[in-house]
Chain A
């Protein structure tokens, strides 16, 4: 009986060591892939080792808050409910990172097939499904099977890439046509200018009374698409019947 306990204890210790080593390996790989998230990855590892991360069915995960003992965040489809998610680089908050690391760790440990390591694989397996142009799927809306980027996504990406100024002004406004131009300036000195139009018939019905505003939004969307090298049309550029 004592031997059995001893063996069990030794086995458990070894298993725990392997698990911790695997967590460290995956975390290191994550740091290489996401160097800007170094602090968040460290926090994520602490949460995993503390047992605060639980993988749920359908790719979801439940992560306990570090700031208090009662809140739990659900990570799902590449998103998290926490306040840091919108601010974190590409949405990689510590909760989402922890879920991604743990998922990869479990996959590695459960794998019974001896195969070469895939060094090109994403270290965080809850990474969103690859989307057109490598854009965060949160910012893409599919309509009739075609992807459209949201203005909010363009703005977020532009800020990430050093947008320092975005100005839009009307060129002319009549009761049937509004023309506007926008200029975006980036921290490296690059400067982009674009124009756009709006009419009462090519804007959503609820915006029709204020259609000139859409010309401003559209030219800003276009100039950001130019600056970010995104060919995908913005949802805000969509007209009726397109």
Chain B
């Protein structure tokens, strides 16, 4: 499964630091809440891969 971050989220991700962490943790919470068990690839709005999630953890 691939999830694409919005342009606003992409901008925050690219800021780095706490803003990135906030997005990463929000994504993990969403995945857990929706009981998604398959691997997830998070991509930025412009198509670059941000990170992957398997087994509830960022890879």
Residues of A that sit less than 8 Å from B by CB: 58, 76-77, 137, 141-145, 203-205, 235, 238-242
Contacts and interface: CB of A to CB of B under 8 A. Distances in A.
B16 interface: yes
Pick the 8 closest A-B CB pairs, nearest first.
A204-B18, A240-B17, A242-B17, A241-B17, A142-B58, A241-B16, A77-B55, A241-B15
Interface of A is mostly: loop
B21 interface: yes
A239 B17 contact: yes
Given A142-B51, A143-B24, A238 B18 contact: yes
Contacts, number: 42
A76 B55 CA distance: 9
A235 B56 CA distance: 19
A143 B22 contact: no
B55 A141 contact: no
Nearest to A77: B55
B22 A204 contact: yes
A143 B58 CA distance: 8
Nearest to A58: B55
29 contacts: A58-B55, A76-B55, A77-B55, A77-B56, A77-B57, A141-B58, A142-B51, A142-B58, A143-B20, A143-B24, A143-B58, A144-B16, A144-B20, A145-B51, A203-B18, A204-B18, A204-B21, A205-B18, A205-B22, A238-B17, A238-B18, A239-B18, A240-B16, A240-B17, A240-B18, A240-B19, A241-B15, A241-B16, A242-B16
Contacts of B16: 144, 240-242
Q: How large is the interface on B (under 10, 10 to 19, 20 to 34, 35 or more residues)?
A: 10 to 19
Contacts of A142: 51, 58-59
Contacts of B18: 203-205, 238-240
Most chain-B CB neighbours within 10 Å: which of A58, A205, A240?
A240
B22 to A, nearest CB: 7
Contacts of B24: 143
Nearest to A138: B57
Interface string B7-26: 00000000111111110100
A131 to B, nearest CB: 11
Nearest to B50: A144
B32 to A, nearest CB: 13
Contacts of A205: 18, 22
Contacts of B57: 77, 137
